[in-house]
Amino acid sequence: MNLLRLKIIVLLGLILTLVVPVSAIAAAPRVTADNALLLDVGTGQIVFAKNHTRRADPASLTKIMTAVVALEYGKLDDVATVSGRAAAVSTGSVIDLRKGEKITLGELLKAALVCSANDSTVAIAEHVGGNHQNFVRMMNAKAAALGLLGTRYVNTNGYHDPNHYTTAYDLAVLARYALGHPRFNELVQTGETTVYWVEPPDREKKLKNSNRLLFSDYEGIDGVKTGTTSYAGNCLVASATRDERRLIAVALHSDDRYQDCIRMFNYGFEVVRPVSIVSANETVFSLKVTGGVNTTAIAVAENELEVRMDPDDLPKLERVIQVPESKSAPVKKGQKLGEAVYILHGQEVGRVNLIAGEDVGRAGWHRQLWDKAFR
Looking at the fold, whether 238 and 315 belong to one and the same domain comes out as no
Is 249 in contact with 50 (CB distance < 8 Å)? Answer: no
Counting the structural domains of the chain, the total is 2
- Residue 202's domain comprises 33-254
pTM for the model stands at 0.86
Q: Do 59 and 10 sit in the same domain of this protein?
A: no
Percent of the chain with pLDDT over 90: 86
Do 82 and 130 fall within a single domain? yes
Highest-pLDDT range among 15-19, 127-131, 295-299, 371-375: 127-131
Q: What's the pLDDT tens digit per position in 31-89?
A: 999 999 999 999 999 999 999 999 999 999 999 999 999 999 999 999 999 999 999 99
What pLDDT is stored for residue 374 in this prediction? 56
Active site residues per annotation:
60, 63, 116
Position 263 in a domain: no
CA-CA distance, 63 to 161, in Å (whole number)? 15
Of the listed ranges 32-46, 142-156, 352-366, the one predicted with least confidence: 352-366
Residue 23 located in a structural domain: no
Per residue in 183-196, pLDDT (tens digit) is 999 999 999 999 99
Indicate the angle between helix axes 105-114 and 118-129, nearest 10 degrees. Answer: 140
In a domain, 28, yes or no: no
The whole-number pLDDT of residue 52 equals 96
- C-alpha to C-alpha distance for 113 and 122, rounded to whole angstroms: 13
Cα(322)–Cα(326) distance, rounded to whole angstroms?
A: 12
**CATH code of 332's domain:** 2.60.410.10
Q: pLDDT for 319-356, tens place per residue?
A: 999 999 999 999 999 999 999 999 998 889 999 999 99
**Are residues 147 and 49 in contact, defined by beta-carbon separation less than 8 angstroms?**
no
* Distant-in-sequence, close-in-space partners of 24: CB < 8 Å, separation ≥ 6: 271, 273, 311
User: Does residue 172 lie within any of the structural domains?
Assistant: yes
Residues 6+ apart with CB under 8 A from 239: 41, 175, 179, 188, 221, 222, 223, 224, 246, 247, 248, 249
Q: Check: CB of residue 20 under 8 Å from CB of residue 277.
A: no
Indicate whether 11 and 120 sit together in one domain. Answer: no
Residue 366: per-residue pLDDT: 53
What is the arithmetic mean of pLDDT over 236-264? Answer: 98
How far is it, in rounded angstroms, from Cα 299 to Cα 58? 48
Residues in the chain: 375
Could you tell me if 11 and 37 lie in one domain? no
**Same domain as 58, residue 10:** no
Residue 182 falls inside a structural domain: yes
pLDDT at 317 over 80: yes
Q: In Å, what is the CA distance from 202 to each residue of 84, 103, 205, 372? A: 21, 12, 10, 92
CA distances, 57 to each of 34, 150, 314 (Å): 11, 11, 34
What is the enclosing helix (H) or strand (E) of 285?
Answer: strand 283-290
Residue 259 lies in a domain: no
Instruction: Pick the closest to residue 267 from 31, 35, 54 (CA basis).
Output: 31
Query: What single string gives the DSSP state of each residue in 80-118?
Result: EEPPHHHHH--SSS-----TT-EEEHHHHHHHHHHS--H
Confidence of residue 365 (pLDDT cuts 50, 70, 90): low
Does residue 181 share a domain with residue 98?
A: yes
Whether 24 shows a pLDDT value over 60: the answer reads no
Residues 6+ apart with CB under 8 A from 290: 326, 327, 328, 329, 371
Q: Is residue 266 part of a domain?
A: no
Residues 243 and 280 in one domain: no
CATH number at residue 40: 3.40.710.10
Q: How many CB atoms lie within 10 A of CB 300?
A: 23
Q: Which residues are 102's β-sheet partners?
A: 81, 199
Mean pLDDT, the chain, whole residue set? 91
Task: Assess whether 53 and 120 both reside in one domain.
Answer: yes
Same domain, 213 and 286: no
Element (H, E) at 240: strand 233-242
67 lies in the same domain as 214: yes
